[in-house]
């Protein structure tokens, strides 16, 4: 399986920076499966011009057109968007997204044939053996097939802090989650890691047993860092 590299721009890149970014990422030489997740306002620029797969950072779970400021699965599909990030901790903290909302978004993405990248993680003072099964159970309610879901393990304390677990700890947790999901769904999950991933640590992280890729945050809008990341894999 090809390694998956998800570049989550968050609110980065100004309009006059977008075309240079697209041009240089089009020139990346890699066998990895690259998914670029720009701000929603740039989605069409990327789907029309990028050589790579494009994902959205958010999606509403209701396709009713009467929701000001939201974006639907139908709109994403019409643009050619293939992936969507669901459950990112910044959405939980800043927009009070509950497990039920995340579950509804996940169901809608799957119904619309958009591949969800489902984020989950624990804080530093939480026992992952208790926290993660509870989270995943709430997110995956009524989900019968996990084949099309990418599970992005992002420990909360590692998001944007420069601090992340040791490779041994990541391997331990990834193994725990993989076993948990495999027992429950009889399928081996596609697991990636996120949380302070940089060009300096990408090689060690992406080669941990059980990890099929990474999700990179704000620095993924820095084209020089992106090129270093690809070169260091």
Reply yes or no on whether the pLDDT at 193 is more than 90.
Answer: yes
Task: Give the tens place of pLDDT for each residue, 44-91.
Answer: 999 999 999 999 999 999 998 889 999 999 999 999 999 999 999 999
User: In which domain, by residue range, is 77 found?
Assistant: 4-232
Most distant CA pair in the chain, distance: 49
- pLDDT over 70, % of the chain: 100
State the pLDDT at residue 64. 87
State the pLDDT at residue 157. 92
Active site residue 154: yes
State the pLDDT at residue 163. 81
* Count of domains for the chain: 1
Which residue in 88, 97, 108, 225 is the catalytic one? 88
Q: CATH no. for residue 28? A: 3.20.20.70
Does pTM surpass 0.85?
yes
Active site residue 164: no
Which residue in 108, 154, 164, 225 is the catalytic one? 154
């Amino acid at each position: 399986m090809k390694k998956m590299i998800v570049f989550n721009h968050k609110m980065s890149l100004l309009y006059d920076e977008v075309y240079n970014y697209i041009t240089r990422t089009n020139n990346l030489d890699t066998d990895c499966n690259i998914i670029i997740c720009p701000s929603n306002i740039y989605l069409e620029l990327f789907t029309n011009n990028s050589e790579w797969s494009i994902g959205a950072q958010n999606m509403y779970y209701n396709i009713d057109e009467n929701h000001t400021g939201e974006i639907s699965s139908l709109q994403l599909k019409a643009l050619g968007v293939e992936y969507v990030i669901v459950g990112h901790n910044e959405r939980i903290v800043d927009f009070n997204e509950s497990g039920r909302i995340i579950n509804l978004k996940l169901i809608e993405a799957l119904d619309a044939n958009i591949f969800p990248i489902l984020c989950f993680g624990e804080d530093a003072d939480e026992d992952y053996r208790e926290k993660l099964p509870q989270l995943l159970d709430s997110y995956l309610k009524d989900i019968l097939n996990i084949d099309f879901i990418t599970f992005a393990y992002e420990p909360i304390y590692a998001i944007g802090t420069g601090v992340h677990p040791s490779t041994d700890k990541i391997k331990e947790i990834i193994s725990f989650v993989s076993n948990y999901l495999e027992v429950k769904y009889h399928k081996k999950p596609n697991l990636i890691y996120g949380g302070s991933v940089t060009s300096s640590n990408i090689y060690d992280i992406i080669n941990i047993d059980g990890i099929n890729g990474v999700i990179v945050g704000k620095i993924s809008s820095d084209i020089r860092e992106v090129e270093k990341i690809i070169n260091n894999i």
